[in-house]
A and B are shown apart, each in its own frame.
Chain A
Amino acid sequence: MKLSVMQENLARGLQVVSRAVPTRSTLPVLNNVLLRTEDGGLKLTATNLEIGMTYWVPGKIEVSGATTTPARLLTDIVAGLPTNERVDLELQAQETLHIQAGRFETRVKGIDAEEFPAIPTAGDKPTTRIAQNVLRKALTEVTFAAASDEARPILTGVLARFEGTQLTLAAADNYRIAVKTITILDPVEETSIVIPARSLDALSRVLSETDDPVSVVLSPSRNQILFHVEGIDLVSRLIDGQFPNYQQVLPKSHTTTATVDRDQLLKAVRLAGFIAFSSANIVKLHIGKEAATGLMVSAAADIGDNHSEIEAQVDGDGTTISFNAKYLVDVLANVPAEQFSIELNGPLSPGVFRPVDDADYVHVVMPVKTTS
């Protein structure tokens, strides 16, 4: 294998695929990135067996071939080379990669490419396509709500329900749920799958702010999903199992609504969070009866207390409810709406948060039962 690529392209490609490199693996070859000449360029591949990423770097091939090289090491080395420099890569004896850029010369020992697991790539006709900016915004608004601990593996995934030209994404961690419906470009027969939230995080980093579409390929056996954008493939395994029926927990009615400015509420909750953090991280929302004082955010702990009053347009009976501050900050920080409407049914019922300008998003947070 012998070829030349530009430093920026190679550096960017390594940076992208290294997100799929496991933090530690018992299989040594997984710590490496696969380099393979393909389509007149260099294809980089990394995988942690849950997600696989490939990135195609344009280049000039003299001799085709393949090898694997320690991913983090190669990423660091290439990032340290001068930009705008041509990088010559050559596979030498004993699986050693020779990296030459101007007067910088490095040799790194690798592992035979044959040992690298096969990663499926896009070749099939896409199941559907989605505008990149639409999918990216939806992922930002949904994936954070997925569970991070493995107590219930299904909740570490995001439910994706395709139906006609709509895709509904839902993530929940047992204390909150985020649901968003977006439009897809090609109709799909009704299908529900659960995609690891980690894979979608990696995906949202490669999506750009354009309405150019990302292709989505659902494997016929329904155990993998593949996303393809210009030069990049991301394939992820799916999570087996039944996602809980979240429709059941979405409240159908409410007795109090408060419409507030997102920024103001976020500021108030963050402030209260500093106090709340020292104990159980609980902040209290108090909404007075119609047209009364607005919305009061407060926290009290051993080290002190905090109260903020923010303007709100209130409808209904008013109530007081406690939430874990983290869950409020998460939704308010990740959903970029001007205003939110908060729908409540009393202190022990789930709270519903809706961005006022987006009827396709809903977020539900379970309250905290306080003794007082």
Chain B
Amino acid sequence: MTAGRLTIIHVDLDAFFAAVEQRDHPELRGKPVIVGGDPRSRGVVSTCSYEARKFGVHSAMPLRTALSLCPNGIFVPVDGAKYQRVSREVMTVLRRFTPVVEQVSIDEAFLDVAGSEGLFGPAPEIARRIKIEVVAATGLTVSVGVATNKLVAKVGSDLRKPDGLVVVQPGEEAAFLAQLEIRRLWGIGPKTADRLHGLGIRTIGELAALPVETLARALGEHGATLHDRALGIDADPVVGGGEAAKSVSHETTFAVDVTDEAEVERTLLALTEGVSARLRAAGIRAGTVAVKIRDSQFRTITRQKSLPEPSDLTDTIWRAALELARPEVRGKKIRLLGVAATGLGQPEQTSMFEIVDEKQRRVVDATDAVRRRFGDRAVTRASLLHRPMPSPFERDPASAVEGRVGIPRIEDDIE
């Protein structure tokens, strides 16, 4: 990261899933499109088009509520595989401008363009070209923020959605944030916001003016961090690119925070299935398994452990992931879960007695073959049947898992 220079760009796709559906189905354009599935089901809104937002529909809202607010809304099911494909196309466009691309979810990424300016011009110019080239490649619009750090760039991209471009000049960070409502800041969810409202704090400027001690008393350790953020201070570097594959990971953000341990375990299984299938497809085994857990307070932890021997098997990796996650999820509301396989291609300890019997290996090989031919859902574990599991967001395999903690997303921005 280049501190103090205008090189950080945040790119966020506008109403991503809904926009993809409108692109592919011209009859949906200009209409309130609600992605999430059957409005009579118990699901929630995954994304909705801007037309639907006018009716008060938003992400994570129960579909039934969305239906009552917007009876003429067009409800479409989630097509995870398609969004994943489009997401990859967008990321490919971003990598034309810099190798340092940190994809933080299916529809957003940070870029550090330090070093690319000689080729493409200053960061605001690169931002304009990104907008044009993403539209050209995918037909989708993005909102872009340009600033000296990730925090301010992200607030910027969020400010003029859709199709926005916000540039915050160096030194202007605090002033830029000052007039904004506190909810726009990373790490301020509804609860923190309520507590701050109780203190009479409405804008980020008011938050910045509060003495650190007062904030720390009101919010604990989190308070000091928030104070820095309110001033537009953020030292988190853009991590990505440039390195060989060190890990394979999948993660998913829940539409609604989850407390049910069985649901957590099923989700870990689904994520692990994806991770281990990719390991097997690449013919590599992982020596270490890591889980990433983010709770409703945006506290993100990662836990990892070595496997007794490198593995590419779902069961082995899932067991390790469960062991890591179980003590950490108890009593928490979980917002995001991730499973990563690292320690790839390590020297392999040979074993004395074959633990994995040939039968299990044959089952795995057969299911992989079926999925390659008939699609990912052609064979499913019984425990994952009839459970709409969102297609997990695949971590960019070209970057390491470490150093990716603590990138909270704005609470109501879940697309």
Interface residues of A (CB under 8 A from B): 149, 151-152, 172, 174-177, 244, 246, 249, 280, 282, 322, 324, 348, 350, 364, 366-371
Contacts and interface: CB of A to CB of B under 8 A. Distances in A.
Contacts of A348: 350
Contacts of B347: 280, 282, 322, 368-371
Contacts of A177: 352
A151 B308 contact: yes
Given A149-B308, A151-B308, A174 B345 contact: no
A80 B322 CA distance: 43
B41 interface: no
Interface string B338-352: 000000011111111
Interface residues of B, number: 12
A367 B349 CA distance: 6
Given A149-B308, A151-B308, A371-B345, A172 B352 contact: yes
A71 B87 CA distance: 61
A174 B350 CA distance: 9
Nearest to B316: A151
Given A149-B308, A151-B308, A369 B351 contact: no
Contacts of B351: 174-175, 366
A368 B352 contact: no
Interface in B46-86: none
A283 to B, nearest CB: 11
Nearest to A244: B353
Contact of B350 (A246, A282, A368): A368
A149 B352 CA distance: 16
Given A244-B352, A368-B347, A370-B347, 5 more contacts: A151-B355, A152-B355, A172-B352, A175-B351, A367-B350
Contact of B355 (A174, A249, A322, A324): A174
15 contacts: A151-B308, A152-B355, A174-B352, A174-B353, A175-B352, A244-B352, A244-B353, A249-B352, A350-B352, A364-B352, A366-B351, A367-B350, A368-B347, A369-B348, A370-B347
Which among B308, B346, B350, B352 has the greatest number of chain A C-beta atoms within 10 A? B352
A249 B349 contact: no
A236 to B, nearest CB: 24
A366 B347 CA distance: 13
Contacts of A176: 352
Contacts of B355: 151-152, 174
A369 B287 CA distance: 14
Contacts of A175: 349-352
Nearest to A245: B353
B350 A369 contact: yes
A280 to B, nearest CB: 5
A254 to B, nearest CB: 17
Contacts of B345: 371
A19 B308 CA distance: 28
Contacts of B349: 175, 324, 366, 368-369
Ranked nearest first, the 8 interchain pairs of A and B with the lowest CB-CB distance are: A244-B353, A369-B348, A366-B350, A370-B347, A174-B351, A368-B347, A368-B349, A249-B352
A311 B287 CA distance: 35
A50 B126 CA distance: 68
Of listed B347, B348, B353, residue having the most chain A CB within 10 A: B353
A343 B308 CA distance: 25
